[in-house]
Structure 1
Amino acid sequence: MPVTIRTLNKRKQDGEKFSMLTAYDATFARLISEAGVDAVLIGDSLGNVIQGRDSTVPVTLDDMVYHTQCVARGNQGSLVLADVPFLGAATLDRILDASGALMQAGANMVKLEGGAWLAEAVTVLKRNGVPACVHLGLTPQAVNAFGGYRVQGKDE
């Protein structure tokens, strides 16, 4: 049975954990999902891992759409999350465009990097049928603003 947001919400309510791994292509997506991993993330970390870049900042929406399509084709029932790339959430119009492209490429949910300032965007996405996950902690898209990789989001 495919993993859905309902599946993950039920696990959370029951105090259970769920698993998520990152993939950038159809082969790894198939292996991950066949192994029973609940969710597959297409991370903008593909800039570092696949493209050999020193940050995620140069990763484009076209890059994310392409890799999301690849992962979606290999996926065998895991929930698929795709990162909105650098500046993809700069305005509501941009986040809607980026999220729409990622969902049409095969994502079941989009992942945003940031904090409380994304609340309005999450509300707009939800209203438009786009599930969103907001990522706190290490935020690689902000590497230049923080002067390096720094962990955030450790307190309320």
Structure 2
Amino acid sequence: MARYRKLPENYFKFVNPIIVSLIGVLMYLLLMAWLDPKNISSTYFGRVAEFATWIGTENNHLMKQIILVVLAVHICEAMVAVYLCYKRKLGPLAISAWTLQTLVCGIFSLYYLMWPTKTPRPAKKDDKTKKSSKKSNEQKNSNAQKSKKKSTAKKEK
């Protein structure tokens, strides 16, 4: 079984507010296209409202299926979030927050729970860079020794 990284008991990260807003607007348009496609405001949504109205009136059954599938997927993602919270031994407040956020935002929230922020590793040097640095150090040392010999030879003359 995979190892789970130890996280603080109150680990929680918010999803970007722009993403949350977009998800809210899209869910609203889906719901309105299914339930009441004629009353989607073209003042706020412009051409998107016209498209949602057309889809809702022509394919109302399709809109119902889409919104039910989206709802089922979000509920499944929320259950996965609860499972991951228990595996990572988070506190009850964090579990509630992750469940609610994942229910609304789906994979955008679940991403932070599945792959928490990683600590950066120190960069490793390749063998080639080590060899080239050794060669350059040897060349510097040999050049320094040659210059010392030349300066001592000049002093003796």
From the CA coordinates, give the structure whose radius of gyration is larger.
2
Question: RCO (CA 8 Å, sep 6+): is it higher in 1 or 2?
Answer: 2
Looking at secondary structure, tell me which structure has more helix per residue.
Answer: 2
TM-score by length of 1: 0.22
Superposition TM-score, scaled by structure 2 size: 0.22
